Amino acid sequence: MIVAEAKPLEEILDSLKGMSKVLVAGCGGCVAVCLAGGEKEVGIMASALRMKRELAGEPLVTVEETLTRQCDPEYVKELGKKLDGVDCILSMACGVGVQFLAEHYPDMWVVPALNTKFAGATIEHGLWEERCGLCGECVLAQTGGVCPVIRCAKSLLNGPCGGSQNGKCEVKPNACAWQLIYDRMKSLGRLEQLVEVAEAKDWSKSRDGGPRQVVREDVKIDG
Binding mask 152-191 for other proteins (x = CB under 8 A): -xxxxxxxxxxxxxxxx-xx----x-xx--xx-------x
- Provide, rounded to whole angstroms, the least separation between the CB of residue 221 and other proteins: 39
Measured between alpha carbons, how far is residue 46 from residues 36, 92, 128, 211 in Å? 13, 11, 25, 32
Q: In this structure, what DSSP letter does residue 198 have? A: P
CB of 223 to other proteins, least distance (A): 37
Which range of residues in 73-81, 89-97, 103-111, 194-202 is near other proteins by CB under 8 A? 194-202
Window 39-68: residues binding other proteins (CB under 8 A)? 40, 43-44, 47-48, 50-52, 54-55, 57
- Counted residue by residue, the chain has a size of 223
In the complex, least distance from residue 177 CB atom to other proteins, rounded to whole angstroms: 12
Nearer to other proteins, 100 or 182 (CB): 182
Q: Please, which residues have CB within 8 angstroms of residue 83's CB and are 6 or more apart in sequence? A: 23, 89, 105, 108
CA dist 120 and 70 (Å) reads 19
Instruction: Closer to other proteins by CB, 42 or 76: give it.
Output: 42
CA distances from 28 to 91, 100, 139, 213 (A): 12, 15, 31, 24
- Binding to other proteins by residue 123, rule CB under 8 A? no
By CB under 8 A, the residues from 80 to 109 that bind other proteins are none
From residue 78, give the alpha-carbon distance in Å to each of 42, 68, 127. Answer: 17, 10, 32
Name residues contacting other proteins, limited to 7-36 (CB under 8 A): 9-10
d(CA 131, CA 129) in angstroms, rounded, equals: 6
Residues of this chain that bind other proteins (CB under 8 A): 9-10, 40, 43-44, 47-48, 50-52, 54-55, 57, 153-168, 170-171, 176, 178-179, 182-183, 191, 194-195, 197-201, 203
